[in-house]
Amino acid sequence: MSESRPKTASPARRPAASGAPARATAARQPPKANPLHGTSYVLNVQYLRQLPEDAEREVAICGRSNAGKSTALNAICGQTKLARTSKTPGRTQHLVYFRSGPGRYLVDLPGYGYAEVPGAVRDHWRGLIDDYLRTREALFGLLLIMDIRHPLKPFDLMMLDYANARGLAAHVLLSKADKLPRGQRAKQLLAVQRELAGRAGVQVLSAPDKLGLDEARAVLADWLQLGGEQAAG
């Protein structure tokens, strides 16, 4: 009689051989799962009518131009080329949609406050972002990125006011933390936490130093209701 194991069964899924030493099995444990790891690019939205219709929950990543939004998104998702990053402010020019699970999206917004972009383009972005923030029902929370050296600018405070008024969750990433010595980093974190007084979560983040990534992942996984095991497919 032939063996009944399906042809697709992979060796990795077979139960461990009964005589295998316990320590060898423990050593093969995978690193802590990143619930955002399966995030993939979906589309660039230039007009609200293009927004995905199956969205149940989404998180918008916002902040001033060049604050490190796209870099943070890549680092949090554990990928290098998911969102485009650039030394030139104004790189992200649409609402860029990424899918982290069924009906779950991360949205990379164009940076606000960038003066060099031609007026007509900037007006279009502004209108698009304003309309999106005002009307998008699936929007659950804002991930607000601020350069740790220049936090809490008027636009940032406006976004937080907006999030609080609309009842959206808000979490602040103080980005580029590697640009400050440790002591100043901690001081800046405390100052921003005090200033916001519980209106938003606040943490530091450095993409090159992989600092604060697990903390940010936990917030997003919670907001988007992603389990560690959940696939993006």
Ligand X SMILES: Nc1nc2c(ncn2[C@@H]2O[C@H](COP(=O)(O)OP(=O)(O)OP(=O)(O)O)[C@@H](O)[C@H]2O)c(=O)[nH]1
CA atoms of 71 and 167, how far apart (whole Å): 27
Residue 74 to residue 206: CA distance in whole angstroms? 12
Give the strand pairing for 169-175 and 104-108: unpaired
Site size toward ligand X, by CB under 6 A: 23
Assess 90 for contact with ligand X (CB under 6 A).
yes
Query: Which of 86, 135, 164, 184 touches ligand X by CB under 6 A?
Result: 86
CA 10 to CA 97: how far, in whole Å?
Answer: 33
Does position 208 interact with ligand X (CB under 6 A)? The reply is yes
User: For residues 68-87, which are near Mg ion according to CB under 5 A?
Assistant: 69-70
Cα gap 205→219, rounded to integer Å: 13
Binding mask 93-122 toward ligand X (x if CB under 6 A, else -) reads ------------------x-----------
Would strands 139-147 and 40-45 be described as parallel, antiparallel, or unpaired?
unpaired
Contact between 184 and ligand X per CB under 6 A: no
Counting contacts by CB under 6 A, is residue 34 touching ligand X?
no
- Convert residues 46-85 into a mask of x (bound to ligand X by CB under 6 A) and - (unbound): -----------------x-xxxxxxx-------------x
Q: Which is nearer to Mg ion, 83 or 196 (by Cβ)?
A: 83
- Residues 152, 63: contact at Cβ < 8 Å? no
Give the containing element (helix H, strand E) for 216.
Answer: helix 213-223
Binding site for ligand X (CB under 6 A): 63, 65-71, 85-87, 89-92, 111, 175-176, 178-179, 206-208
